[in-house]
Structure 1
Amino acid sequence: MLTSYLACTKFRYFIWGVTSSTATVALTLVVIAVISGTTLASGINDAGKFLTAANDTTPPTSCVTSSVGSAEALVSNLFAAINTAKCELTNASQWPADFADEALSEGLQKYDFVIVGAGTAGSVVASRLTENPRIKVLLLEAGGDPPIESEIFTMSSTLHHSAYTWTDFGEPNPNCCQGMQQRRCYWPRGKMLGGSSSMSGSIFLLGNKEDFDRWRLLGCNKWSWEEMKFLYEKALKASQHEVVDKPVGAIVLNHFDPLEQHKELAQLVFNASSELGLRYISNLADGTSVGYTDAIPANIEKGRRMSVAKTYLGQVSRSRPNLHVIKNALVTKILFSSDNSRAMGVEFILRNRHRLKAAATSEVLVAAGAINSPKLLLQSGIGPSEHLKALNIKQVADLPVGNNLHDHGMLPLILRFESEFSVPPSMGEPQSVADYFLRQIGPLAASISIMGFINTNTSSSSQYPDLHLVSHTIVPTGNADSFKFLQLRDEIVAGISRAAGNQSLLQIYGSLLRPSSRGKVRLRSADPQAPPLIYNNYASERADQLTLLRNVRFVQRMCTTAAFRNYGLQLLHVPIEECDQLPYDSDDYWICYIKYLYIGAWHPVGTCRMGADTDSHAVVDQRLRVRGVDRLRVVDASIMPEISSGNTNGPTTLIAEKATIMIEDDWKTKLA
């Protein structure tokens, strides 16, 4: 540790003394070489070639050979520090050790609880339960440790279509996603420790007080805003009072460090929203309400992602022998007693070749997320009887598993600047790369994150918003990479670039906070390794289409403000052949636009809905126990009866906190 610190200190002193842009580029070549696994010799060679070419017009036959040793020492320190920086980001000790080899060689013991999925919910529950040394927990995760791109949260979109992602597409839907690749909605989810929280924007929002009032009206009277606030504050206190010898899982929240260019954009948006009568929200600890803000809490620290898989699970796992984590373990079935009355354990495939079983003496806890949790229940015989019968799956319980799928969705609107505007440096520029790896600052450590929460119902003065607007990225002209995140078809991206001309662009994403449309998850086949059928049904309800239309009209109102007019900001006309057959800016035109560009926000919830005992639509009761089956519980965003008003990772964390209290209470006699 001391050696690494000294090397890093010497390296930073060396770099801060260098002001040449060519030196920065050379450094970046070395950094990229090390990160990508290229040999140090190759990195040195590439950097040397660049520096020589930049400073000498005559190609040399060899580099300077004379030296008294000091320069060589500096170069050695340079590479030592770069390697240290990489190792700090990819240090395996920040994640739990893999128990897989022991399981294969020695077999698996019986555990009190077997948890399926090490995403947000699974990580929290495993961490909290094992605070009691008498409780033995096995946590099974289908993926492995997150890659370095996950640590640099601004690079999370590069994980799409990778081995770290469940890459699925929704079934064709004529109401949405027609502008996406394959004309189908893309459904990426994290397949690694942390799940989707290891590739999300790291935003942590509690939602609105009325979200939980609505849950109570739906029969979930044990879930209140006051309870969620209590759990939130409790988790935050844990981070402030960490005991070194007995670490405790905690939420790590900070605000993003804004770039100067981001501050300029934020002021522009705040000025425009103020002209429309919207207040500035300085603190979201009391939930989302109508207004605009850039004070966004997130699971980050010094430019690094701080998912609960790290701060709850990773930081405690190596000091708890009662917690075993097995990675690359795909759970394929829940095992039941001979009379199907209670869950006994699970069956899983380890590393794509070993079939194992794990027994749970207390409960099986399913925390695989709003797509994979219902999929596992269906595979195990819990779900709609007609669906299970069609696939010849033996029924254990007839429940509406997979129904009630919904998501905020996301409608991008693109605006063009007619006047010059400060554009943030690209994340891929050499200076940006050097800034991040040396000091964790710059574009790779920053986020624009200007959020608006809007009530578009003009007849209501409620502080309960129905739209979430995110003023996201200033897009340099011609940079089509900025649209890869949206997974748009090539011809649409090309049309945007043509319409942009030589001007920079501003993207504003609008999301429905209270969507009416509902979809479902079903099995494609009885093969547990087959991808699920996802019927997202975005914008299938007229009410959702009309709210999105009001979103468009609101952004157009922003364009009439003095703040926006000062920069000549206007909506870009995105060429879409079908929509262009209609009068531009008519309601019908924008409904057509919604059909093409309303896509997923990747906040799926609701598929194992929680409800009262009398609720025929509920899969789990208020204690998250699967109805009709003992010793089986679902703990993740799938239990939400209705989605929260904002990014869902925060409420999922608190759902897991509350679930743990319930589990401990239910089993206090046995586990005392």
Structure 2
Amino acid sequence: MIFSATFSQCRLCILAVLLLVIVVIAVVASTTLASVISGDSPPTVTNDTLPGSSCASSAVGSAEALVGSLFTAINAAKCEMTRADQWPADFAEEALNNGLREYDFVIVGAGTAGSVVASRLTENPRIRVLLLEAGDDPPIESEIFTLSSSLHRSSYAWTDYAETNPNCCQGMRMGRCYWPRGKMLGGSGSMSGNIFLLGNQQDFDRWRQLGCDQWSWEEMQLLYEKATTASMHAASVKPVGELVLNYFEHLAEHNDLTRLVLNASSELGLRYIPDLAEGTRVGYTEAIPANIKSGRRMSVAKSYLGEVARTRPNLQIIKNALATKILFSSDNSRAVGVEFLLRGRHQLKALVRSEVLVAAGAINSPKLLLQSGIGPGENLIELGIPQLADLPVGHNLHDHGMLPLLLSFEREIAVSQSVGDPQSVADYFLRQSGPLAASISIMGFINTNASSSSQFPDLHLVSHTIVPAGTDRNTFEFLQLRDEIVDGISRAANNRSLLQIYGSLLRPQSRGRMRLRSADPQAHPLIYNNYASERADQLTLLRYVRFVQRMCATRAFRNYGLQMLHVPIEECDKLAYDSDAYWLCYVKYLYIGAWHPVGTCRMGADTDSNAVVDQRLRVRGVNGLRVVDASIMPEITSGNTNGPTTIIAEKAAIVIEEDWNEKVA
């Protein structure tokens, strides 16, 4: 369902007011907000316990004034977070009433890449850009990044499921891998964990070996420096978007967990990483850079696009606009525009003088190309779509994936208060601090190959949250694990706290693909993720399990009695527990997506038959069309992919403007 901007804002206000009412009731009546959020039955609230109503004891008015002051302060903070002017204005009504002019560039997708490119290109006042976004402004849950999981399976997300794969995701509902993506300004960058990692030098060395010699680690670092200092060089009358990065706040209660994990990793010979700005490398750290500021998400849609859009008449954005087809010239040699569906009912066209730039992400970008006749013939022919260019669109799909392991504590460890606790809510809205503004993660990078002394890792570990077993199922709901597995975890934990460790392959060998399910642009795609189909990936995951077991043997972990939790899985429990065969069976059930898809519009040299785009991101075989997002990666980078996508877009904006200047000169 696609909401209009007005309806969305009203909905947010209603939700926020309801939340605030609950908070005030909870503060006054000593009711925990956590019980409301979790669905547990709260204490009965009668008219006598409501703020401002007749209370059991008498009052002279000052107490009611204090409660009113609290409500006013929190409401003001909420209003500040949901200001409409932090986002670009919607040009939709103007388009419906007066039509659309011709643009120099039409960009499809206002996610991370699209926001950067639109912002950078329109620094040149001679360049006119139209940016189309299928979603709307992000809701308040996006601003409070710790509530991002609540956006899954909502109108702010694309919700897809991969086709059944016997090698992975068997423990998920329906036995299929879950594929969420953001459907709003900022795209997945408005609902992800905010983490910003560039990857490492070896990633880009591999790109060069694959024929992408114009993409170097040194250039990525220079572009990163430009992105983080852009506003320092901006004239006051011409704001320039920039990358906003800070470290997560860490609560005092988090210190015990930090010391525990860092001490254990040190016992195993892993060094502490004080700064990841120079790239991911073997070691552990709690200093995790992220797109945040004062407890709020700072997606590039806000810091690049929202920061500048209202001051640039040469930049127009249309929201709730689903691109359905790329339009081509009569001889099919050049892209000349985009057809899109506005608010689910108005079919419009936007024409371009120069290029169409597709920045819809690793699933929706290839989907749009296929809908437009660019891709493998067998898929297009069976759907009756005329083929314009025979390219391997949708191939080379891969993702880090992640395998959760659970460890149980015999000795309890400090746990921060719930994010739903009234104090947590007040701390966040009044001071932008507390659990709602904090991270409880420690991050590690290891090289599991015993024959290699390389400092380049092949596995990414995130030691995440402490979960009171049996009282907080949100983590497992978020992962979409089957109910019987969640119940089995709760029984095995026996009311002990749990440490979760997620292991992700930094160099997965398995490759999948996506195809069109139907010629209908609104149909869900076919996704064949093929996680863990390669033996090499299975063996790396097995080495990950053994590494965590070595952590359990360290003095630091033994001091807390940490040991691997035996998760009941009927098929695996027929095998000898802790055998290699057992853990490979565990992989079949619990190796799931990390939601970092890349590669489906692969970049490569002109001689590379597996490439969809060249090194300047131009789609091969047609003119006036480029792809700018994570789908162009020939191989995935070593860490969360939102950071490299930002830098890819920075480079793309440079080469696009270079080519534009050459044409108009």
Q: Could you say which TM-score interval applies, normalised by the shorter chain?
A: over 0.9
Q: Does 1:658 align with 2:651?
A: yes
| Cα distance in structure 1, aligned partners of 2:595 and 2:20 | 39
Q: Is the Cα contact below 8 Å between 1:134 and 1:671 reproduced in 2?
A: no
Which residue is 1:319 aligned to?
311
Displacement of 1:476 in angstroms is 1.0
For 1:8, the equivalent position in structure 2 comes to: none
Identify which range, 419-428 or 333-342, moves more after superposition.
419-428
Q: Which amino acid aligns with 1:650?
A: G
Tell me, yes or no, if structure 1 residue 204 matches structure 2 residue 193: no
- TM-score, normalised by the number of residues in structure 1: 0.92
Match of 2:585 among 587, 592, 612: 592
Aligned to 1:140: 132
**Correspondent of 1:91 among 83, 94, 118:** 83
> Per-residue displacement from partner, 1:490-521 (whole Å, max 9, x unpaired)?
11000000000021000000000000000001
Corresponding residue for residue 7 of structure 1: none
Point out where structure 1 has 5 or more consecutive residues left out of the alignment: 1-31
Distance in 2 between the 1:41 and 1:649 partners?
36
The percent of aligned pairs where both chains have the same amino acid is 76
Q: CA deviation at 1:251?
A: 0.4
Could you list the per-position Cα deviations for residues 347-370 of structure 1 after superposition, in whole angstroms to 9, with x for gaps in the alignment? Answer: 000000000000011000000000
User: What's 1:309 paired with?
Assistant: 301
Instruction: Choose which of 176, 179, 183 in structure 1 pairs with 2:171.
Output: 179
Q: Name the SS for the 1:382 alignment partner.
A: coil
Is 1:115 the counterpart of 2:95? The answer is: no
* TM-score, normalised relative to structure 2: 0.93
Aligned equivalent of 1:170: 162
Q: What residue is the counterpart of 2:626 in the other structure?
A: 633
- In 1, the alpha carbon distance for the partners of 2:614 and 2:244 equals 30
1:209-608 correspondence runs (5 A): 209-478=201-470, 479-608=472-601
1:112 touches 1:361 (CA, 8 Å); kept in 2? yes
Instruction: For structure 2, list consecutive stretches of 5 or more residues without a partner in the other structure.
Output: 1-11, 32-41
Q: Distance in 1 between matches of 2:519 and 2:596?
A: 26
Q: Distance in 1 between matches of 2:239 and 2:421?
A: 39
Rounded to whole Å, the distance in 2 between the matches of 1:370 and 1:59 is 55
Q: Hey, what's the Cα distance between the residues in 1 that align with 2:501 and 2:290?
A: 20
SS of the residue corresponding to residue 667 of structure 1 reads helix
Q: CA deviation at 1:341?
A: 0.3
Matching residue's letter, 2:654: I
Q: Go from structure 1 to structure 2 and tell me whether the alpha carbon gap of 1:463 and 1:494 turns closer, same or farther (over 3 Å shift).
A: same
Distance, in Å, in 2 between the alignment partners of 1:88 and 1:488 is 36
| Deviation (angstroms), 1:50 | 6.1
Q: Secondary structure at the match of 1:325?
A: strand
**What is the CA distance between 1:245 and its match in structure 2?**
2.5
Whether contact under 8 Å (1:239, 1:251) holds in the other structure is no
CA distance in structure 1 between the partners assigned to 2:495 and 2:259 by the alignment: 24
Query: How far is the alpha carbon of 1:264 from its aligned partner?
Result: 1.2
Does the Cα contact within 8 Å between 1:331 and 1:348 map onto a contact in 2? Answer: yes
Structure 2 distance, partners of 1:59, 1:96, is 45
Superposed CA RMSD in Å reads: 2.2
1:76 deviates by: 4.5
CA–CA distance in structure 2, aligned partners of residues 428 and 543 of structure 1: 42
Aligned partner of 1:120: which letter?
T
| Mapped contact 1:152–1:305 kept (Cα < 8 A) | yes
- Structure 1 residues 126 and 59: CA distance shift in structure 2, 3 A: closer
CA distance in 2, matches of 1:97, 1:648: 28
> In the alignment, is the contact (CA less than 8 A) between 1:472 and 1:507 conserved in 2?
yes
The answer to whether the 8 A contact 2:468-2:497 is kept is yes
CA shift in 2, pair 1:424/1:70, >3 Å: closer
Distance 1:172 1:455, change over 3 A: same
- Asked if 2 retains the 8 angstrom alpha-carbon contact of 1:424 and 1:443, the reply is yes
Q: In the alignment, is the contact (CA less than 8 A) between 1:381 and 1:396 conserved in 2? A: yes
Alpha-carbon spacing, 1:58–1:231, altered in 2? closer, same or farther (3 Å)? closer
Q: Deviations over 1:183-232 (max 9, x none)?
A: 10000000000000000000000001000000000000000000100000
Q: Give, in whole Å, the separation in 2 of the partners of 1:434 and 1:416.
A: 31
Q: Does the Cα contact within 8 Å between 1:249 and 1:315 map onto a contact in 2? A: yes
CA distance in 2: counterparts of 1:390 and 1:237, whole angstroms: 50
How big is each residue's C-alpha offset from its partner over 1:139-174, in whole Å with a ceiling of 9 and x where there is no partner?
A: 000000000000000110111110000000000000
Q: CA deviation at 1:80?
A: 2.6
Which one of the candidate residues 98, 103, 120 is aligned to 2:95?
103
Q: Does 1:36 align with 2:16?
A: yes
Residue 8 (structure 2) aligns with: none
Distance 1:635 1:432, change over 3 A: same
Q: Structure 2: how far apart are the matches of 1:313 and 1:59?
A: 49
